[in-house]
Amino acid sequence: MRVLVTGGAGFLGSHLCDALLAEGHSVVCADNLLTGRMANLEHLLDEARFEFVEQDVCRAFDPGKIDYVFHFASPASPADYLKHGIETLQVGSAGTLNCLELARQHHARFLLASTSECYGDPLEHPQRESYWGHVNPVGPRSVYDEAKRFSEAVTMAYHRYHQVDTRIVRIFNTYGPRMQINDGRVIPNFLWQALRGENLTVYGDGSQTRSFCYVSDEVEGILRLARSAEHAPVNVGNPTEFTILECARKVIATTGSASQIKFEALPQDDPKQRCPDISKAQQLLGWEPKVDLESGLRLSLEYFKKAVAKDAAAAR
Ligand code: NAD
Ligand code: UDP
């Protein structure tokens, strides 16, 4: 297949490009580099089956004949989407519409990267796909949550009205190499701080929970969904839940750092608990994650150590 990956210069998108190329497909990556980096794609630039197009997907474009669209373009870290609030709403609305139009015109299949944020600060736990969520539609996080909820709605509409063959993956907190070290998400923040001997910043009292999925598990789940015939949303994430305080302690233990923990203010509308119910993915896709948090942190260490060393060299 010839596959379009939007947001392919980002963390998840670049791993997806690697996996699609490894399966023998040709890949066109469209990215405006808002939060992504060419460094994530450097190893692919000499690959004949790979093309990079610097492109804002909110503007109409035509990548030529394509068979599958993986729509991953969107800021994803709370720090990034709070900084780029309007752009986040634009890529989730105009950007998603453009990508669905491309899929319709080329008779291509379409997969939307959606998010556990669609559940907001959930009142149902763990979250099943049938839960409609508890989202503040006018709070600071609404630029992301509502953009993704709109993206899901318009994806279902293109499926219902135009018979586009669509999929929706609800991705839960995923981490690993190629995350921006300063993107503000909890694992890169903690690894960065621990490796530099700084105190780890736990927001609130650290009792809020998240469930962390290593990137290779996430990409495998996404590819299995892409091959399935399921049109309704499917959760793909790791169902082992940690408090943020436990996560900080795991990072300190894995890095062997002498860092301590310091407590800072909890951001507004920060979800108190988040954990996927993955029964649907297990039954439908025969998928479940294999990499636990400790192993995933170890697999990420080399990348983060190099990034810290590079930053220190640049500061000299
Ligand atoms: P990322 O910020 O590393 O990657 C996003 C990419 O999209 C970047 O390369 C950025 O430059 C690009 N982009 C943004 N706006 C664009 C536009 N208008 N046109 C073209 N490109 C644009 O984030 P990520 O963690 O790799 O997330 C990728 C996708 O997965 C996002 O859609 C995100 O919502 C979703 N997701 C990720 C997670 C996670 O834990 N990593 C969780 C839930 C959902
Ligand atoms: N968090 C934290 N310290 C940090 C960064 C994040 O305590 O340095 C917390 C944050 O408040 C949230 C959780 O870690 O409760 C996960 O945050 P992240 O930004 O990774 O993603 P979210 O799941 O909120 O989208």
Q: Whose CA is nearest to atom 5 of ligand 1?
A: 10
C-alpha of residue 204 to centroid of ligand 2, in Å: 10
C-alpha of residue 42 to centroid of ligand 2, in Å: 29
C-alpha of residue 185 to centroid of ligand 2, in Å: 6
Residues 163-181: tens digit of each pLDDT? 999 999 999 999 999 999 8
Residues 6-41: tens digit of each pLDDT? 999 999 999 999 999 999 999 999 999 999 999 999
Quote the CA–CA distance of 106 and 111 in Å, as a whole number.
14
Give yes or no for residue 171 CB within 6 A of ligand 1: yes
C-alpha of residue 72 to centroid of ligand 1, in Å: 5
Residue 183 has pLDDT above 90, yes or no: no
Question: How many residues are recorded in the chain?
Answer: 316
Residues 104-139: tens digit of each pLDDT? 999 999 999 999 999 999 999 999 999 999 999 999
DSSP string, 265-277: PPPTT--S---B-
Of the listed 119, 144, 175, 214, which one is catalytic?
144
pLDDT of amino acid 91: 98
Question: For 217, what's the count of Cα atoms within 13 Å in the CB-facing half-sphere?
Answer: 28
* Residues flanking ligand 2, CB < 6 Å: 78, 173, 184-186, 189, 201-203, 208, 210, 244, 267, 270
- For residue 95, give the amino acid letter: G
Q: 233 vs 14, 19, 170, 268, CA distance in Å?
A: 22, 22, 6, 27
Q: Whose CA is nearest to atom 19 of ligand 1?
A: 56
Would you call 158 a catalytic residue per the annotation?
no
Query: Which residues lie across from 107 on neighbouring strands?
Result: none
Q: How much is the pTM?
A: 0.98
Q: Whose CA is nearest to atom 19 of ligand 2?
A: 185
Phi-psi region of 87 (alpha: psi -120 to 50; beta: other; left: phi over 0): alpha
Residues 33-87: tens digit of each pLDDT? 999 999 999 999 999 999 999 999 999 999 999 999 999 999 999 999 999 999 9
- For residue 221, give the amino acid letter: G
